[in-house]
Structure 1
Amino acid sequence: MNDRAGTQATADDLIDVEELIAAYYRRQPDVSIPEQRVVFGTSGHRGSSFNTAFNEHHIAATTQAIVEYRASIGIEGPLFLGADTHALSNPAKTTALEVLVGNGIHVLVDEYDDYVPTPALSHAILRYNNDPANKKKADGIIITPSHNPPGDGGFKYNPPHGGPADTDATSWIAERANELIASGLSDVKRAEPTGVDTYDFRGIYVDDLQNIIDMEAIKNSGITIGADPLGGASVHYWQAIAERYDLDLTVLNPLVDPTWRFMTLDWDGKIRMDPSSASAMASVLDHQGDFDIITGNDADADRHGIVTPDAGLMNPNHFLAVAIDYLYQNRRGWHPEAAIGKTLVSSSMIDRVAASLDRRLWEVPVGFKWFVPGLIDGSVAFGGEESAGASFLRKDGTVWTTDKDGILLCLLASEIRAVTGKSPSQLYDDLTARFGAPAYQRIDAPATPEQKAALKKLDGDAITATELAGEPIVAKLSRAPGNDEAIGGVKVVTENAWFAARPSGTENVYKIYAESFKGAEHLAQVQDEAKRIVDAALGG
């Protein structure tokens, strides 16, 4: 924890926006240098123009690659294009538009030249593709590095299913983009982006919220809501929601500034718009007693933060458990066999809630993309990640978004408060009274690149230990129970505890997620033994 975590950003913490944008156009990547290549992670290509990792050549080449990819699989409908409030997002949007128009793609941008949250883009793609009148499928590009610091840019492709592209698509796009950069962009087509059509992302999304959230209950309850967009793309959405549904909702900070000078510093001393971090949300927490519910979103509004008067900022795992318990008892239009989706590093409190509801638990690897098929066909009614990202079905059991929706989860917190008369944190206390109070934490352990590569391919059978922190091991997993996909690491489970180990994609460490229903001391023992177990399996 940095000494300045949770304190107000100062002038020395701020990026030089003009220099950042100048570097976007001036610096040209050399794809023989790994750090300068186009690389798609779970949420697209990310980087800073200062590091020659997110520059005009990257975006021109990646957009051209997307054009070629969509043509190769027969996507002929429009492409929805949106961007968040990061400084590099608008230049990248301009570059992408030039390439899309140069290739004759029918592009739809925001009608009011507004910022576009990730869930609004997913909503738009699904709405278009679910209309029987539209014979040709649409897809989309959202330009955002999510909650990353102000100096970063991000570029993500969402195919016709509306969610994050799978690795078969992203690998193809990245490889082709790097080929285009290496050839000096000779095959990239560009044109002046004139005559581009528009789409009312905000109005259509906000109007449709009544079909997934009980907005009448929120209004009639009279509860007070404070919504902080943290300088992100949801800023105008919250005001529109307040006006459309006549809610007692105050937008706590309507300011958009690409330096994010109004933020408090995150745990490591960086400006990061993470609504699940108490350090990043410190200024929001100053209002803790002023509203019945306070919410926060990251820059593209795919993550949520929930603040209650009695408990402050809720742990994301805690809110997911409460949301699941509430929704599966109050959404009568959901199919009785619809499963509960969770990532394997989310809290086992969800497992216990699922058992009490007599619902099937669908546990998948890290990455929201795994929930997409189930959300589309209704076989999974809720999908959530421990990092404060989730989405769920409409009241009638049909798909809403196939990407994370932070606005939705924030509104759900208000519905829960309005309908039950209790805050989500009070309801979590009720769950712990029934099922126990777990201690959960993620830590890092050092690992060489070779050890990280070995861990990613490690088979659960390679773990020879039979006990973990005094309890018999009941499962050693290298594939997720829900869909039998590789988890890129291992998970070891006992009756009252578990740990999962996964290599970091950017640092020479591996991440250990661990939880114990036997208290903090037992959790520390689990973490200590987890390192020994993993190191032994890796030959360390």
Structure 2
Amino acid sequence: MGDDADAITFGTDGWRATLDVFTEPRVRMVGQAVATYLEETGQDAPVAVGYDARETSRGFAEELARTLAGNGFDVLLSAEDCPTPVVGWTVRDRDLAGALMVTASHNPPEYNGVKFVPDEGAPALPEDTDRLEDLLAEPDPVDESEYGTITEEDLVEPYLEHALEYVDTDLSGLTVAYDAMHGSGREATPDLLERAGAEVTELRCSLDPEFGGTPPEPEAERLEELIDTVQAGEADLGIANDGDADRIAVVTPEAGFLDPSLQYAVLYDYLLEDDSGPAVRTVSTSSIIDKVARAHGEEIVETAVGFKWVAQAMKEHDALMGGEESGGFGLTDHLRNKDGVLIGLLAAAAEAEQSFDDRIAAIHDDHGKVHQDRISVACPDDRKQPVLDELDGSLPEIVAGAEVDRINTVDGFKITFVDDNWLLIRPSGTEPKLRVYAEADSLDRVEELLEAGRELVEPLV
């Protein structure tokens, strides 16, 4: 068992691997670990199992369902591939013990993965996934007379009904171009928009396990057709989801591909028209969110990178919204997890009331423009912590000619200057690199800060 177990590591958002490593025996070990963990924590309610649009995902989901049922748990198996947020919401809505979602999100088709979703529908925390790694084992079924049932259900329809009631908008007269990137949002998101009254032009909404030859990650260089469609005047708004539809990208006629932090600022500002509450963001997400919050008398909570930390802070601070710079956003009273489907409907609702471009212009008029970029500095994994240790307590009071106002150490070192510009140095969680981020009121200043960050860390590597 040792070699099989050693290959399974739960990272920022579950376990992902190429298909030569992500095998049925190892998937069954994950199912057994989850079953044992749920028993340890006193959970005996049913467990949901969902899966994305990858060719192998349904088969892996069935293996997980059989393993859980063999441990006495009743299982709700999604009848079709579905978005990850649908599974998370189902856990919360039906008071389930938890869920397993087979997905490799935005990774290329040669990958697959599995996410464990605990009983509140929020991302698993490290104490959960560390324990799962400890419990990895071959399936150990109970007596066959005690097996749980496996029931296939349509998990999407109840979610869509909830989303329509939650956002409660009339999109009549609005045209939306939607790019599913051949992922699991390809039916749920356009269906939701159309039920709310929008006219939807669908792009890459066919089932294609190869994702058309490009990873299903909604970045500007992969959304050229969507951008062209919107900027040609064929749609009022463009929306795209990643492979499992927990993230969202927005395209507007004037801005084109919208920076996710600015998207967050627009949506939070829109919500604050009729609601209230803090916003949670990661250390690398733009301070434009802070400016919107302060204008409404609201608090900002800053967390480490990773939506699990955002979700935890959303609960602790009773936040209205949480988000991160990669396009993952959640609403506390809906689901403390990323949801690219419902947020897509929310974005369309905001557009129907006042265009995104006009909202962006108003934010810039009120708060000014900010610019952000990042670079990477090669750093072996075993040098990451020593570099951070050497930086601790030795950072200068003046960086790139600017006076340091405060330093946040929640995730590496975030240096905020007296002019509200900032520099962030943190280790990559997936590559042998240190990330250096900078935000400032001009692109030239961003470049200066990035170079200063490089000069701080490179000699220490």
Tell me the TM-score normalized by structure 2. 0.93
Change (3 A) 1:463 1:91: farther
The C-alpha deviation readout for 1:479-502, integer Å capped at 9, x for no partner, is 2xxxxxxx2x11111123112122
Q: Does 1:208 align with 2:162?
A: yes
Shift of 1:56: 1.3
Cα deviation, residue 414, structure 1: 1.1
Which stretch of the first structure deviates more once superposed, 201-210 or 69-78? 201-210
Whether 1:291 aligns to 2:264 is no
SS at match of 2:116: strand
Q: Which amino acid aligns with 1:284?
A: L
The separation in 1 between residues aligned to 2:286 and 2:152, in whole angstroms, is 42
Residue 337 of structure 2 is aligned with which of 403, 411, 415?
403
Q: For residue 86 of structure 1, report the CA deviation from its aligned partner.
A: 1.7
The question of whether the paired residues in 1 share the 8 Å contact of 2:73 and 2:148 is answered with: no
Counterparts of 1:46-195 in structure 2, within 5 Å, are: 46-50=16-20, 52=21, 54-110=22-78, 113-129=79-95, 137-177=96-136, 180=137, 185=138, 187=140
CA apart distance, 1:71: 0.4
Instruction: Provide the rounded CA distance (Å) in 1 between the counterparts of 2:430 and 2:177.
Output: 35
Cα offset, 1:194, TM superposition: 9.7
TM-superposition CA deviations, 1:12-69 (whole Å, max 9, x none): xxxxxxxxxxxxxxxx99358xxx611111110001113x2x1112201011000000
* Match of residue 251, structure 1, among 199, 202, 205: 202
Structure 1 partner of 2:379? 447
Change (3 A) 1:379 1:468: same
Deviation at 1:476, TM superposition (A): 1.7
Deviations 1:325-367 (A, max 9, x none): 1111233xx4xxx211111110011111111111011111111
Question: How many Å separate the matches in 2 of 1:247 and 1:144?
Answer: 29
| CA-CA distance at 1:242 after TM superposition | 4.4
Alignment CA distance shift 1:284-1:454 (3 Å): same
Long gaps (5+) in structure 2: none
Going from structure 1 to structure 2, the CA distance change for 1:477 and 1:458 (only over 3 Å counts) comes to: farther
2:65 partner amino acid:
L
Q: 1:313 aligns with which of 252, 257, 265?
A: 257
1:510 aligns with 2:461: no
Alpha-carbon distance in structure 2 between the residues aligned to 1:375 and 1:284: 32
Structure-2 separation of matches of 1:109 and 1:469: 55
Aligned CA distance change for structure 1 residues 66 and 144 (closer, same or farther; 3 Å): same
Match of residue 178, structure 2, among 227, 250, 271? 227
Aligned residues: 457
Cα distance change of structure 1 residues 94 and 199 upon mapping to structure 2, 3 Å threshold: closer
Alignment-derived partner of residue 371 in structure 1: 310
Mapped to 2, the partners of 1:186 and 1:196 lie a distance apart of: 17
Give the conservation status (yes or no) of the 8 Å contact 1:140–1:158.
Answer: yes
Across the aligned residues of Structure 1 and Structure 2, the Cα RMSD in angstroms comes to 2.4
Q: Residue 77 of structure 1: CA displacement?
A: 0.3
Query: 1: CA distance between counterparts of 2:367 and 2:113?
Result: 40
Q: Distance in 1 between matches of 2:436 and 2:311?
A: 26
Q: Identity over aligned residues, as a percent?
A: 27
Taking the aligned partners of 1:436 and 1:365, their CA distance within structure 2 comes to: 26
Deviation sequence 1:270-306 (CA, Å, 0-9, x none): x21111x111112322312210011100111000011
Q: Alpha-carbon deviation of 1:460?
A: 6.8
Name the aligned partner's letter for residue 46 of structure 1.
Answer: R
**TM (normalized to structure 1)?**
0.80
Whether contact under 8 Å (1:117, 1:233) holds in the other structure is yes
Preserved CA contact (<8 Å) 1:87 1:151: no
The one-letter amino acid paired with 1:369 is: K
In structure 1, the residue corresponding to 2:120 is in which secondary structure?
coil
State whether residues 178 and 240 of structure 2, in contact with CA within 8 Å, keep that contact through their aligned partners in structure 1: yes
Counterpart for residue 356 of structure 1: 295
1:531 match: secondary structure: helix
What displacement does 1:90 show?
Answer: 1.9
Q: Structure 1's 248 and 190: CA in aligned 2 closer, same or farther, altered over 3 A?
A: farther
Retained in 1: the 8 A contact 2:193–2:345?
A: no
Cα distance in 1 between the residues matched to 2:67 and 2:381: 37
